[in-house]
Structure 1
């Protein structure tokens, strides 16, 4: 089945690895951080709840697409979207998913979100740094041509306000999509709108932070390494929840124990050096508890 609309094929070929790291390592929220941190005694009881749905159950209930799943240690899994993009009219692609979405298929709803979001992104002016990457590879003109083709493919979808402005990400997360629950915490603009929108309604921002953390905790409890990374980032930057270096390190360590990679190992080493021995000890205990609850 075709996966999403208006991805740039050349961009994926060049930046797939960078995109996976960005997805796993850093959220895209532009919200103001919350500077306070939790006390040590509170940290010792903070972890992912053992309310796990196993991967096969999630797949059978259309909460995650097995084609994007990489099995890790124990019950843990990672998500990787590197499939070839669908071709043709984006509106027709979205319409082909609507019936499944309306019957509660969370993967279909999330695919609609991806299609709409990618089409909206096609309207954005490419950054100079991105153009420089393509120029250095000698494919700048190919990239520009692909953008023009995407705009043609997206024209009908973007002209349909009922489809292009539906809260697809929120709906997919509510239906149980694991990818959507993780992306919910990363793509605040799709949930809250522009900065002026949520600043005039501060209760929406407060509710968003609570819901984002709940979504991440649930996704992590199913074994999602991406959710563990997102929780580590959340406690690191203090945007969605109170800043807590020990909890951040604990989630990073848990993710590394399930799906090790050199970049994460380097991050853990750097973060550990910035903490006291007491904070590292707390992080180590929490990491074991998190890993046991979610994935072993």
Structure 2
């Protein structure tokens, strides 16, 4: 703000209020905001437990809100397991209602083995269910590659599972 703008506020009789508000805003900018960010996990947990769809999605994808570092995860293995359990439950609930983002999250979780036990069959099935729900979202070459990594008997099982997932969540939704 320049001197002329300040003079205008003073001429209007708002100089003191303007100065106080400006000082407060500057003080807010000087804080690092860590107190706001340190509670985001708490509020995400509350909102997700309360049923917020957006909070459930963010909860499962924002591990930093709960564990700012890998060291924190190592220090709190029970908390980490609880976080994983809730994340899987929230994403499973959303996927059961046809939420594509959560279905992709589940597919990746099965693929990586980080949030859920690694399962190439389940991973492919969820990716395929996404493709059945929204053709073209999943690249065909990716689906073919993942399917090709499975033994023949597991390919059939994964295709059946994909149709089942799609039928439960998305057929008619």
TM over 0.5: yes
1:164 aligns with 2:164: no
How far the C-alpha of 1:246 sits from its partner, in A, is 0.3
Equivalent residue for 1:223, pick from 82, 98, 106: 98
| Aligned mates of 1:286, 1:242 — CA distance in 2 | 17
Instruction: With the length of structure 1 as denominator, give the TM-score of the two structures.
Output: 0.45
* CA shift in 2, pair 1:159/1:179, >3 Å: closer
What CA distance in whole angstroms lies between the structure 2 residues aligned with 1:186 and 1:175? 18
Shift of 1:178: 1.9
Q: Which has the larger radius of gyration?
A: 2
Label 1:263 to 1:288 Cα distance change in 2 as closer, same or farther (>3 A).
Answer: closer
Instruction: Name 1:27's counterpart in structure 2.
Output: none
Deviations 1:113-148 (A, max 9, x none): xxxxxxxxxxxxxxxxxxxxxxxxxxxxxxxxxxxx
Structure 2 CA distance for partners of 1:269 and 1:160, relative to 1, 3 Å: closer
Q: Which residue of 1 aligns with 2:122?
A: 247
Q: Which residue of 2 aligns with 1:186?
A: 61
Q: How does 1:81-120 map to 2 (within 5 A)?
A: none
SS at match of 2:139: helix
Higher relative contact order (CA 8 A, sep 6+): 1
Contact 1:232 1:248 in 2 (8 A): yes
Residue 281 of structure 1 and its aligned partner are, at CA, apart by: 0.7
| Cα separation, 1, equivalents of 2:130 and 2:29 | 40
SS at match of 1:286: helix
**Partner secondary structure for residue 164 of structure 1:** helix
Paired residue for 2:10? Answer: none
Match of 1:275 in 2: 150
Structure (1 or 2) with the greater helix fraction: 2
2:161 matched to which residue of 1? 286
How far apart are the structure 2 equivalents of 1:229 and 1:282? 19
* Equivalent pair of 1:250/1:287 in contact (CA under 8 Å): yes
Distance 1:268 1:243 in 2: 17
Ranges of 4+ aligned residues in structure 1 off by more than 6 Å: none
Please report how far the alpha carbon of residue 269 of structure 1 lies from its aligned counterpart in structure 2 after TM superposition. Answer: 1.1
For the residues of structure 1 that align with 2:69 and 2:29, how far apart are their CA atoms?
Answer: 23
SS at match of 1:192: coil
Q: Does 1:155 align with 2:29?
A: yes
Helix, strand or coil for the counterpart of 2:141? helix
**Per-residue deviation, residues 19-73 of structure 1 (Å, max 9, x unmatched):** xxxxxxxxxxxxxxxxxxxxxxxxxxxxxxxxxxxxxxxxxxxxxxxxxxxxxxx
* Displacement after TM superposition at 1:220 (Å): 0.6
**Cα distance, 1:156 vs. partner?**
6.9
Structure 2 vs 1, CA of residues 160 and 186 (structure 1 numbering), >3 Å: closer, same or farther?
closer
Paired position in structure 2 for 1:199: 74
**TM-score, normalized by length of structure 2?**
0.74
